[in-house]
Amino acid sequence: MAKRLNGQALAARYETSLRTSVAQHLTTAGCPPGLAVVRVGDDPASGVYVGRKAQACGRVGIRSRIIHHPATASQQEVLESICRLNADPACDGILVQLPMPAPLNARQLLLAVDPAKDVDGLHPLNLGRLVRGEPGLRPCTPAGVMALLAHGGIALEGIRALVIGRSILVGQPMGIMLQQANVTVTVAHSRTRNLADHCRQAELLVAAAGQPGLVGAHWVRPEAVVVDVGIHRVPPPRQGTRATLRGDVCFAEVEPRASHITPVPGGVGPMTVAMLLWNTVQAWQQRCGVVGGITPVPLPR
């Protein structure tokens, strides 16, 4: 039976470390770290995510605010909000909550964020720094996966990995981060032929296709490490019951076959939020000239 890589518990440890660092450097910095979330429209899932991020900020001492535009807002109005936040000294991090309703151009909005405040790590400058292996703000979800693997004691050097998905948000930066950890990486996508064969060769499988239950047990090599990035809301089966979440992996059948596995919920999701907090505190420290960085979360021996 696979060991579970518990993102909920690890995220709590990251929060403890961040809370300590914020408290330690508050006097030197003169003000707490600030995160602004730019949200447009009323997508209910976005509402839930934004609320969770705001609560997590509160737990570590980050001052958060939500700039909520109606779905009818123009590109210009949202751009002006971002420009105001770029110039605002009380704002260290700007998160543009995706997806943006049509016809807004999310790519142009992300480009407008000051790279020093780009806590999602999606600005071309920060993605370029990632490719070059230079310090910078890293995309939160793949950074969260790397932290889960490190704290799970997974030896990455020289192993063979398959990442399913090639989005800028997850798949592409995930592939780069794994390569930088000396993993031999294949990135699969919707045009990949014989996906099951690629999966069966992988010692590490990262599923980020956005396809519920795509990966079944027969696709997984025995003793593989399986990371499930997918999040899908399953509506309640009948009135009076609750909606549930599931991932891209058939958890119940893969768990007995894998060596390690991330659950959904409680795996990658909480670590994505933890990395957003980490990036915000890092951006705050950079802006305020704080020396010493963030207290690291100790790795297992």
Q: How far is the CB of 72 from ligand NAD (least distance, A)?
A: 25
CB distance 292 to 299 below 8 Å: no
Residue 126 contacts ligand NAD per CB under 6 A:
no
**Binder of ligand NAD out of 36, 156, 268, 294 (CB under 6 A):** 268
- Residues found in the chain: 301
CB distance 14 to 74 below 8 Å: no
Q: What are phi and psi of 59, to 5 degrees?
A: -70, -25
Residue 2 contacts ligand NAD per CB under 6 A:
no
Count residues contacting ligand NAD (CB under 6 A)? Answer: 24
Residue 164 contacts ligand NAD per CB under 6 A:
yes
Concerning whether 53 is annotated as a catalytic residue, the answer is yes
Binding mask 11-50 for ligand NAD (x = CB under 6 A): ----------------------------------------
Residue 188 contacts ligand NAD per CB under 6 A:
yes
- The residue from 92, 97, 172, 248 that is catalytic is 97
Residue 190 contacts ligand NAD per CB under 6 A:
yes
Return the bridge partners of 64, or none: 35
Give residues with Cβ within 8 angstroms of 207, minimum separation 6.
Answer: 164, 165, 214, 215, 226, 227, 228, 229, 230, 247, 248, 249
Q: Please identify, using beta-carbon distances, which residue of 113 and 169 lies nearer to ligand NAD.
A: 169
- The residue from 92, 117, 118, 120 that is catalytic is 120
**Binder of ligand NAD out of 96, 156, 169, 275 (CB under 6 A):** 169
Residue 250 contacts ligand NAD per CB under 6 A:
no
**Binder of ligand NAD out of 54, 195, 217, 297 (CB under 6 A):** 195
Concerning whether 97 is annotated as a catalytic residue, the answer is yes
Residue 6 contacts ligand NAD per CB under 6 A:
no
Q: Please identify, using beta-carbon distances, which residue of 177 and 290 lies nearer to ligand NAD.
A: 177
Q: Which of 246, 215, 251, 244 is nearest to 230 (CA)?
A: 246
Span near ligand NAD by CB under 6 A; candidates 103-111, 116-124, 205-213, 234-242: 205-213
Q: How far is the CB of 295 from ligand NAD (least distance, A)?
A: 24
Residue 7 contacts ligand NAD per CB under 6 A:
no
Give residues with Cβ within 8 angstroms of 134, minimum separation 6.
Answer: none
Give the C-alpha separation, 5 to 269, whole Å. Answer: 12
Q: Which of 66, 80, 120, 75 is nearest to 100 (CA)?
A: 75
**Binder of ligand NAD out of 171, 173, 175, 263 (CB under 6 A):** 171
Q: Which residues contact ligand NAD (rule: CB under 6 A)?
A: 141, 164-167, 169-171, 188-190, 192, 195, 208-211, 214, 229-231, 268-269, 272
Q: Which residues are catalytic?
A: 53, 97, 120
